[in-house]
A and B are shown apart, each in its own frame.
Chain A
Amino acid sequence: MSGHHDVSYLAPKETPWKTIWSWVYTVDHKKIGMMYLVTTLLMFFLGGVAALAMRLELFEPTTTVVNQAGQQAVEGQFFKGWEFTEREQLVTANNVYNRAFTLHGAIMVFLFIIPAIPAALGNIFLPIMLGAKDVAFPKLNLMSWYTYVFGSLFALWSILQGGVETGWTFYTPYSSSTNWGGVTAMVLGAFILGFSSIFTGINFIATVHKLRVPGMGWFDMPLFVWAVYATAILQVLATPVLGITLLMLVFERTFRIGIFDPALGGDPVLFQHFFWFYSHPAVYIMILPGMGIISEIIAVQCRKRIFGYRAIAFSSIAIAGISFLVWAHHMFTAQTAASNAIFSALTFLVAIPTAIKVFNWIATMYKASIAINTPMLYAMSFLFNFTIGGLTGPPLATLATDIHLHDTYFVVAHFHYVMMGGTVLAFIGGLHHWWPKFTGRMYNENVGRLGAVLVFIGFNVTFFIQFFLGTQGMPRRYATYINEFTWMHQISTIGSFILATGLVIHLLNFVQSWIGGPAAPRNPWGGLSFEWETDSPPIEHNFPREPVITHGPYDFDTTLPPHCDPREFPLPDPAQSARYSH
């Protein structure tokens, strides 16, 4: 009975039709994770194209080619025969830029970054790290993916409905009052995507509680599991509020309920409270799994016990809890001074667990045997970039400075540093770290390093200068600007193309590896958590028989890693490493 389960989950079936069907109707968490991976990466590149279009537009202070091309598209062939209302005929080139940044934001937030790490890497590795055969509710997992696809298509359909210009934050009354355009489609798409997120969260919480291998306590789990668990709590508790917000926005548009519309007695600030109550925990949904990946990469690539395991584990939960207390720091210019004071003070709290993590990672690297490969390069990039992003948070949390910085490029730079310099870099690092495991092939290390360097340089050239744009007063979401800002924008645009080049190099590296890369060993990095005990790629039920836990995931000082040559990964000499075990 166990014989036919000893094949890799990627192995094709007897006929092509059976292979396709085995993916379409799979309940295997690894296949679902792969499908999520492919679709989220596709969305990432779509959102990236929108970003490049924006940066091209911003190369010149006035309206340029991109907007004019868009203008012609609106007036010309593609929309010929459609009837425009008077309002639509007033569409100027600037509106095309508005649609670009809305699309970029909505795709990147809802279609890429929120699902990417939990649903792709989390789905593949959470059960394996716990020694389980699958997640708690495999069919719900598949439904989560189909919901994601359906929601994404719905959201992208808004492009054909005339686009959305409100920004990904959908502030009322602009989003509730225009009776044309794709707002309803995009909002409903995001609503459906919220359910996908919720199902994933429910699955992961139940899995961590109920499917751990006997003998694995809470403090024997890898830190990636802790991170994904905290993320799942946020997904379950915060996403429904987004759901109700978007639902009420749709009601506002279709039934004119007037809750957010001042013309009918409602209040737009209420919308902002509703929206940010989800969207702030959402940014922690984005970063927490990334931090989990960094814990794994640093521990394994530095082959050292992670410093302060419990501190990092508890700080994940603390970040999840505190994230519910700070949402109105996105609304400092919209609410009362009393509320401002409360939220400003609470916002400073969230820096504490975050800093604990950063210090612990650096302490882990101290006197460790660091392998400078692509995952580790990304981990180090993460430490640098995320710290910058984190340190630029307090100026925004401070009320006096926020008045000047609100809605400027400073905010844009800040969140790109934490979201892209943080989560996306962690994601790419994790992809490289686990690529040999879930594909069974090695990627080309030199090309990977080249890509990592290009991404690091490109990212910083693009976004560092935006801090200065912001402090000088350049507002966000503007297609045109004064001449004095030109040189800074031009540097930023050049940086964005370097960044794009680095990302494309990684994509090509992965494609080449998938097609014809060398077979990967079971444990190329010498890791100790359960995924390094499985085959590369794992068999369908992950383990031939239930694994027995004999060591912790970070016991590098006492345990030789499985399936590894001891000469390549010897035990460290205790005499040589100061304060090795903690």
Chain B
Amino acid sequence: MTTLPLGPAGVELEPHERYVPGSHWRNAKDELEAAKLGMWLFLATEVLLFGGFFCAYAFFRYLYPHDWHEASRYYLSWQIGAANTAVLLLSSFTIVLAIRGAQTNRKGMILLNLAITQLCAAFFLVVKIGWEYMPKIQKGELPGGFFTYPHPHGDYDHIFMSVYWISTATHGFHVFIGMIVIAWAMWKAAAGHYGPKHYTSLENVGLYWHLVDVIWIFLFPLLYLV
């Protein structure tokens, strides 16, 4: 396409205004609903993936309840966890606002809210890596066979650490991927790809981000509080 179609006022149309569904789709509504359904199916796979971690948690918690509870209080700081939770919840809210911005055709609102979401994600990762992971690595509170912390509380601290590390590290990895995907969405928003008639990929990015938040909603109390 070398010439861009002009809108009624003779002004060049934004990409979202001249979006055309794929040629195998009968209409744009089908394409949007299918895209969302596909995204939900993918989220289902992510939930089941993390479900494995929850199953391992439940299993070991059942076997060693006292040690687990004590280890949780001994090694983890609930304040850091709570701060991270609040920040993630805020980021969920702002990404909803970004979608609202697309629906009301306000590009600035999309970009601002995505930027806040991005900052929240960065805050989460910085706190996690800087305040949680680095001190743990330095003190030797590492998973399983690498656990070398000299003052363990119980006999199974290393298993608790294993479950903690793999759950939160995988979650952190998903946060990181989320940041990349949000950055891509910001680029697309800046290029004018999102508007009231078409904001499918922004919605899907939002769904992914909400899932990351929901997983943390479950991880936080189970690892930090109880």
Contact = CB atoms under 8 A, between A and B. Distances in A.
A239 interface: yes
Nearest to A214: B26
Contacts of A265: 155-156, 158-159
Given A245-B52, A248-B56, A201 B41 contact: yes
B53 to A, nearest CB: 7
B136 to A, nearest CB: 13
Contacts of A261: 144
Contacts of B48: 237-238, 240-241, 244
A239 B45 contact: yes
B38 A136 contact: yes
B132 interface: no
B interface majority secondary structure: helix
B34 A241 contact: no
Interface stretch (A204-212, A422-430, A452-460, A502-510): A204-212
B38 A274 contact: no
Interface string B159-194: 100110110001000000000000000000000000
Contacts of B155: 265
Nearest to B157: A265
Interface string A230-260: 0000001111110111011001100111110
A258 B145 contact: yes
Contacts of A255: 143-146, 162, 165-166
B24 to A, nearest CB: 4
Contact of A133 (B23, B45, B158): B23
B37 interface: yes
Contacts of B25: 211
B131 interface: no
Interface residues of A, number: 46
A267 B59 CA distance: 10
A205 B159 CA distance: 39
Nearest to A135: B24
Contacts of A202: 38, 41-42, 45
A243 B44 contact: no
A214 B27 CA distance: 12
Contacts of B24: 127, 132-135, 138, 211, 541
A274 B143 CA distance: 20
A335 to B, nearest CB: 13
B37 A236 contact: no
B22 interface: yes
A248 B163 CA distance: 10
Given A210-B34, A256-B143, A138 B162 contact: no
Given A240-B48, A274-B52, A259 B159 contact: yes
A206 B37 CA distance: 7
A248 B155 CA distance: 22
Contacts of B34: 136-137, 206, 209-211
A198 interface: yes
A544 to B, nearest CB: 14
B6 interface: no
A135 B33 CA distance: 14
B129 interface: no
Contacts of B45: 198, 202, 236-237, 239-240, 243
A198 B44 CA distance: 10
A511 interface: no
B46 A264 contact: no
Interface in B1-47: 22-26, 30, 33-35, 37-38, 41-42, 44-47
Main secondary structure, interface of A, reads helix
A360 to B, nearest CB: 30
Contacts of A264: 144-145, 158-159
B41 A236 contact: yes
A468 to B, nearest CB: 39
Given A206-B37, A251-B166, A259 B55 contact: no
B167 to A, nearest CB: 11
A245 to B, nearest CB: 7
B56 A270 contact: yes
Contact of A244 (B23, B49, B145): B49
B196 interface: no
A321 interface: no
A259 B38 contact: no
Contacts of B156: 265
A248 B52 contact: yes
Contacts of B130: none
B38 A244 contact: no
B51 interface: yes
Contacts of A140: 38
Interface string A187-216: 000000000001001110110011100100
B59 to A, nearest CB: 6
Given A209-B37, A236-B41, A266 B145 contact: no
Given A132-B24, A134-B24, A265-B156, A256 B144 contact: yes
Q: 3 closest A-B pairs (Cβ-Cβ)?
A: A256-B145, A244-B52, A258-B144
Interface of B: 22-26, 30, 33-35, 37-38, 41-42, 44-53, 55-56, 59-60, 63, 143-146, 155-156, 158-159, 162-163, 165-166, 170
Interface of A: 127, 132-138, 140, 198, 201-203, 205-206, 209-211, 214, 236-241, 243-245, 247-248, 251-252, 255-259, 261, 264-267, 270, 273-274, 541
27 contacts: A132-B24, A136-B34, A138-B24, A198-B45, A205-B37, A209-B34, A209-B37, A210-B33, A211-B24, A214-B26, A236-B41, A237-B44, A237-B48, A240-B45, A240-B47, A241-B48, A244-B50, A244-B51, A248-B52, A255-B146, A255-B162, A259-B159, A259-B162, A264-B145, A265-B156, A266-B159, A267-B59
